[in-house]
Structure 1
Amino acid sequence: MSKTVNLPHDDASCGWYAALPAAQPATRLQGEQRADYAVIGAGFAGLAAARRLAEHHPEARILLVDAQRVAQGASGRNSGFVIDLPHKFALEHPDPAHKQRLLALNRAAIAQLQGLIQAHGIDCQWSHAGKYQGAVGPRGMAYLEHFEKLMKDLGEPFDWVERGALAKVLGTGHYSGAIYTPGCYLMQPAALVSGLGRSLPDNVELLEESPIQRLERDGQGGWILHGSAGRIRTARLLLGTSIFTQEFGYLRNRLLPVMTFASWTRPLTDSELQVYGGQLDWGLTPADHAGTTVRMTQDRRLIIRNTYKHVPKYGKSTSDAMRESVRSDHRKAFLARFPQLANVPFSHTWGGVYAISRNFTNFFGELEPGVFASACDNGVGAAWGTISGTLLADLAVGADSAQLRDIQAVTGMPSLNPPEPFLGLGVRSRIRLAAWNSRSEL
């Protein structure tokens, strides 16, 4: 394979990453390197895969390589939810066993992350806060009633929270009601991913700011990974590259690159916190999936996330003007909820790219002999990336388990996309239609 890949091009305005202490200088790929295993992508999936490989083979040399710094990419840009429940679309799956497998896998990921946070003292605002799914008006309440039925079918606990009680938590009477589910954890994603990167086993070498620009077969059953200042020869290659998997020639025309955007405030002052009147450390996702996600962090920042864009050129599909427009929309959503905080500015607005598929199917498995991938998290990357990366390493070393069989049972092949320009027209039209239909919930 000689195709040159398109690289990440994320904006430099992610609030989560900006809030971290200054990072130590990066170790970059230089010269000729040999590894027993190479992992591309140091997000949740790649970090978990490298760690598990090291546990299986502590004598092996494992190289984990990323085009950016750890936490600069998608894994450090999400809204900080680690959700145990199957995603909205997966909740509608007709097979109860399918949903129970997803639930068990997500909970295994949460337990794994919690263990690592405790073992390595990772300061990332980790909290068993649960999650609210909120409705603004009749459209959202209809979605909540449907969600209630799905939760009953799943046999999972939940609580209805009426407007008055909800306002005491959120500091706003904007919502008609919500369903609270207790299994979600909240965190600072860039801090968590950065901490996972700093605490890798000794036989994992992390190479940052080292984009792999080309893959080549070595003629002996292995691979050569070409960077700008060096290359890696390896017998086994694991891809934790999400949407960028298609840049290496795999799952082409099966993944859709979508970017969602968030803005957050600076930390509220003591007087602003009194005016706000709600609690710290909560998260709310919209009952209508095209609505607005809202969070209040432990360090007093309010976050607004909505707006979806089809980004065929990833970060290069965006512009400063686009982000300013998104920021303006976020401001309207913020003021609708917190008019008492009209003088509190946003300090950062950022986007993050993730992969979805038309059939909402995650890929997990061996792409060809010696090449393994977990790709397409369909927007729920923290838990899924962690458990899929872990089990991908199991698959690569031939370690069988009930969990491995479970993830193989719930994954498959993302469906083919129509060709351009029909794909772009269709995706953009669907996003616009969803935003219009959901305008009362934004």
Structure 2
Amino acid sequence: MQLQHNSSEFLNNKMNDMNLPHDDKTCGWYAALPPPGPARRLSGRHVADYAVIGAGFAGLAAARRLAAHEPHARILLVDAQRVAEGASGRNSGFVIDLPHKFALENPDPEFKQRLLRLNRTAIDQLQSLVRKHDIACQWSHAGKYQGAVGERGLAYLAHFEKLMSALGEPYRPVEGTELARVLGTSHYSRAVYTPGCYLMQPAALVRGLAGSLPDNVELLENSPVTRVERDGNGGYVLDGADGQIHARRLLLGTSIFTREFGYLENRLLPVMTFASWTAPLNEDQSKRFSGTFDWGLTPADHAGTTLRMTQDRRIIIRNTYRHVPKYGRSVDDGTRERIRAEHRKAFVARYPELADVPFTHTWGGVYAISRNFTNFFGQLEDGVFASACDNGVGAAWGTISGTLLADYAVGAQSSLLDDIHAVTGMPSLNPPEPFLGLGVRTRIRLAAWQSRAEL
């Protein structure tokens, strides 16, 4: 897809017009890692064949693929933060093969098969890199449980089983004592297990991917790009606080922040979801926990609670959504404390015998959704390419869309590129403010109330 862009608007972006990433500093995944080495920052003038903005799953995959296509090209990968501080290091650690819930309801069977091929190619790609570079990220082919608590959740679960049957995908209902033996709680009435999902430590995976980039990819961190303009010769000039990049082509792996460069401005919705996790269970607590270790559960009702037991024996609770028009700056410490208290209630409801286990971290992560649940993939204008809007399934989608974006940028052809063009499109326009914010907040509150039994 190619989007015609208003260049005058694009060229006039300045630092004080942009909402830069402003994530909290309490992400458990990131805090569990050793401190990173010194960051190389954008400084001075650089000339590159390609500039990739955003070092999350999409940007890392795009830079790696560009290097494979053109091993003698100079590729600069630029991020406003340290690698893994942003959204890619803040998710719940699922790499999901199945289409999103809304995509599963698409009436075209081929549409869903294309998504499956794309997601499974991404999983194979990530697994190959984890093995090749010995990335310690708790990578595990654990599958996934989709769980329900009350009648509303059970109705969603029954619908999911019908969709899976129609898709011809394997699944297995799990309930009663069998489910409790896995989860260590009888809180859930029923679940459906699907085998294709992988689990991982997202911050560790992203950092490992960044640390194993090809030699002709140069990573610049803590280097927000605050202005982009044409250079008059068919390329682009990227300005930072202390340096400048002249690049022949530009790839954006910037998700929601794509709109800060003047693209897709009124088509992406910034939503933040929140998680808390416990300290690792000690020996006594592990004995009191009656389940197994290393599993993940997503809610049948999409507004419910995601639950995970990590390989290092931490329990994660993730729920609660906020519309965040200014990203991290839209959320204050008081909001985080209230969310943490709600997570605590959800944790104790599931594991009253572990009520003495403390939470050590509560964090949020911003992602992009669209009103029509459509992902954007394609060319924004001559020499500028983007993958934006993952609609909440970022690990697999970011990996494959970044890879194929590089293919598209260099003119490569493949059946997978045909697939991604077929399943992406233009995110629908949003209504103007204040109607947009009011509508999104109302929808989130209504979903939370309707799904209160699943939280």
Q: Is the pair's TM-score, using the shorter chain for normalization, greater than 0.5?
A: yes
Q: CA deviation at 1:124?
A: 0.1
Give the match's secondary structure for 1:385: helix
Whole-angstrom CA distance in 1 between matches of 2:19 and 2:261:
9
1:68 maps to a residue whose letter is Q
Q: What's the offset of the Cα at 1:138?
A: 1.0
1 CA distance for matches of 2:153 and 2:259?
Answer: 36
Q: Of the candidates 229, 232, 245, which is equivalent to residue 219 of structure 1?
A: 232
The answer to whether the aligner puts 1:272 opposite 2:285 as a matched pair is yes
Match of 2:324 in 1: 311
In structure 1, what is the equivalent of residue 342 of structure 2? Answer: 329
CA shift for structure 1 position 216 = 1.1
For 1:132, the equivalent position in structure 2 comes to 145
Residue matched to 1:253: 266
The runs of at least 4 aligned residues of structure 1 exceeding 2 Å deviation read none
Query: 2:422 aligned to 366, 385, 409, which one?
Result: 409
**Counterpart position of 1:2:** 12
d(CA) in 2 for partners of 1:194, 1:402: 30
Identify the residue that residue 96 of structure 1 maps to in structure 2. 109
The equivalent of 2:204 in structure 1 is: 191
1:154-193 equivalence runs, <5 A: 154-193=167-206
SS of aligned partner of 1:178: strand
Pairing 1:18-417 to 2, within 5 Å after superposition: 18-417=31-430
Counterpart residue type for residue 433 of structure 1: L
Aligned length: 442
Q: Deviations over 1:72-123 (max 9, x none)?
A: 0000000000000000000000100000000010000000000000000000
CA–CA distance in 1 between the matches of 2:86 and 2:400?
19
Deviation at 1:163, TM superposition (A): 2.0
- Report the Cα distance in structure 2 between the residues aligned to 1:162 and 1:26, rounded to whole angstroms: 48
TM-score by length of 2: 0.97
Amino acid at match of 2:311: Q
Deviations, residues 10-34 of structure 1 (Å, cap 9, x unaligned): 0000000000111000000000001
CA distance in 1, matches of 2:394, 2:35: 25
Partner Cα separation in structure 2 for residue 138 and residue 340 of structure 1: 25
1:209-244 deviation digits (Å, cap 9, x = unpaired): 000011111111110000000010001000000000
Among the aligned pairs, what percent are the same residue?
76
Distance 1:409 1:139 in 2: 33
Distance in 2 between residues matched to 1:14 and 1:152, nearest whole Å: 38
CA distance in 1, matches of 2:225, 2:335: 29
Tell me how far apart the structure 2 counterparts of residues 108 and 384 of structure 1 sit (CA, whole Å). 10
Distance 2:265 2:431 in 1: 11
The one-letter code matched in structure 2 to 1:3 is N
Q: Which runs of 5+ in 1 are unaligned?
A: none
1:433 shift after superposition: 0.2
The amino acid of 1:131's aligned partner reads K
Query: When the two structures are superposed, what TM-score results if normalisation uses the length of structure 1?
Result: 1.00
Deviations 1:273-297 (A, max 9, x none): 0101111100000000000000000
- Residue identity in the other structure for 1:2: N
